A and B are shown apart, each in its own frame.
Chain A
Amino acid sequence: MPRIIYHNGTAEPNVVEAADGTSVMRAAVANDVPGIVGECGGQAMCATCHVYVRAEHLDLLPEMSEDEEEMLECTAAPRDEKRSRLSCQIVPGPGLDPIEVDVPADQI
C-alpha cells in the first residue's frame, strides 16, 4: 500500500494509503482529495489531473508518453517544465513510496 502525500497549500497535507497499482489520480478521487478532477477517467485525454511532483522524485518517475507530454499543454494552471505531470499516468511503487505532490490551484 504505497503512501501518497498531496499538498493542497493548506497546513496539513492529505495523506492517502493507495491500493497497489492505483494511480495518483485514482487514489485522490477515491479519497476525496480536493483539487484533482480526473474528468476522462485516467486516459490522458483531459489534463484535469495535473500535479507538480516534488523534486526528489523526478528521477524515479515513469517516463512521459508523448500523449502526456502534449496534453500537459492543456493544463489550467501554469505548466512547470520539470515538475508538471498528469497524475493518472503515475502509479506509485518501488522508489516512489511515499510520493509527494503539490496540487495546483486550478484544473478547469
Chain B
Amino acid sequence: MTGRSGAGTVIVGAGHAGVQLADTLRTGGYPDRVVLLDAQDTAPYQRPPLSKEYLAPDGAPEPVPLRGERFYSDHGIELRPGARVRAIDRAARAVLLDDGTAVDYATLVLATGAEPRRPPVPGATLPGVHGPVTLADARALRAALPGARSAVVVGAGFIGLEFAAVARAHGVEVTVLEAAERPMARVLSPTMSDYFAGAHTRMGTELRMGEALASIEEDRGRAVAAVGATGRRYPADLVLMGVGVAPRVALAREAGLRVCDGVAVDTRLRTSDPSILAIGDCATFPAPWQGGEWVRLESVQNATDQARHAAGTLLGVEEPYTEPPWFWSIQGEHRLQIAGVPRAGDEHVILGDPERGRFSVLGFRGGVLGAVESVNRPADHAAARRVFRHGLSLTPERAGEPGFDLKSYAARASVPG
C-alpha cells in the first residue's frame, strides 16, 4: 500500500499561484497525483491584462491563457475547471466539492486568491455595477465600454485607475470617487500619488478625492448614478467597484486553520496544519525583508514565487521564503514599477524629474532602502531589484548625493565576489 502518497497534491485555485505550483512540481519530478481544482469554468488565464489591454479599444477578445491547452494533460496535471471546493475535511484528508464528491489529498494547497470587496451601500449589487476581478467581469466590461457615455470608478486603487485610463481611451467620461485624500494612498508615496493624480486629470478623468460612496441610484432595475457622501450625484452608465479585494479564507477558517487577514503560513508556506500549504493572494506570511512581520501581497510575482517555493517545500527543500517583492501597473502611457513595498512614514529621495514624467521615489526606513517606485524608468526598477536581491544597504545620504545613479550603484555593488 502506498497509502496516502497515492492521493498526491490537491491544489484549490488555478490562478497564477496554483498553475505555477502544478508546473514547478512536475518540472521538479514530483511523482504523485497533482489535482488542480477551480470554481471557474474557463481554462486558467492571466489576470493583469483584464484591466488593461483586454479592455482597450483594440484589445483582443480572448484572454491570455496561463499555459497552452495541452500543457495540463501533457504533464499529468488533473485540471478540473468548474470544481468548487466547499469544505476541507482535515480528519479524512479530503476536500468536498459542490457536486457532493470528495477528493483525497496527502498534501493540500490553498491558492484561492482574493475576491472584490463590495461596500455595504444601497445599490451595490445592481446590474450595471461591475467587479474588476474575473474574466466574466472583464467580459461584461468589454461589452459595456463601447456603448457607455459615462463611468464612475469607486476607489482610486491600481485596478480602478487602470480601468479609468482604458475607459478614457474609449472616450467615456470618467469620474473616480475616493475616500482618501490622494490616489493609491496606501501603496504609494505622496510624490508618486500626486504624479498619478496629475496624469489622470490630464487624461480627462475627474478625480473626486475625499469623496466616499454613499449609495448607487437605480432606475428600472439598473444603476444610473453613484451618490457620494457629500450628497453629490454622479451619473453613470456603468460603475466599477475598485475598492480592493479581501483574501478568500472561508475554507481555511471553517477548517480551523490559523487566519490572520490571509491564511497564516510559516517561512515554508505551511499553514497551522503541516499537510496544508497556502500561497498567493490568500496567504499571510512572515516577511524577512520586513523584520519577519506578517505580510499579505497581491501580485503576480508573489503568487508565482510562492508557488515555486511551495513546490520546493513539497519536494523536500527546506528553505525559508525570502523573495523580495515587485509589482507593476500600467495606466495609460504611465508605466509604474515597484520593487519592495512602500510604507507610510518612509523617508524619500527622488531620482529623475517628476515634471518630465520619468522618475523614481526611493523609500527608506530606519536608514535602509525599503522600496523603489519608478515611473517610466525601468532601469531604476531593474537596479532596485538587484539591490534587494543582493541585500545591499543603500543609505539615503548616499542616494541623495548629486549625480547618484541607481543603475551604476547596483552594477558596481553587486559584482560577484
Contact = CB atoms under 8 A, between A and B. Distances in A.
Interface of A: 26, 29-32, 39-47, 66-67, 70-71, 73-74, 108
Interface stretch (B60-68, B217-225, B285-293): B60-68
B141 interface: no
A39 B65 contact: no
A67 B328 CA distance: 13
B308 A45 contact: no
B203 interface: no
Contacts of A39: 300-301, 304
A32 B67 contact: yes
Max chain B Cβ within 10 angstroms of own Cβ: one of A42, A66, A74? A74
Interface residues of B, number: 31
B116 interface: no
B156 interface: no
Interface in B252-310: 300-301, 304-305, 308
A30 B68 contact: yes
Nearest to A108: B308
A91 to B, nearest CB: 13
Interface in B377-413: 377-379, 381-383, 385-386, 407
A58 to B, nearest CB: 22
A44 B149 CA distance: 32
28 contacts: A26-B64, A29-B65, A31-B68, A32-B67, A32-B70, A32-B71, A32-B74, A40-B48, A40-B300, A42-B64, A43-B48, A43-B52, A43-B330, A45-B335, A46-B300, A66-B378, A67-B378, A70-B377, A70-B379, A70-B382, A71-B381, A73-B379, A73-B382, A73-B386, A73-B407, A74-B385, A74-B386, A108-B308
Contacts of A45: 328, 330, 335, 337
Contact of B382 (A30, A43, A47): A47
Nearest to B66: A29
The interface residues of chain A, by DSSP majority, are classed as loop
Contacts of B313: none
A29 B407 contact: no
B49 interface: yes
B40 interface: no
A8 B144 CA distance: 44
Contacts of B300: 39-40, 46
A30 to B, nearest CB: 5
B63 to A, nearest CB: 10
Given A26-B64, A32-B70, A32-B71, 9 more contacts: A29-B67, A29-B68, A30-B69, A39-B301, A43-B330, A70-B378, A70-B382, A74-B378, A108-B305
Nearest to B63: A41
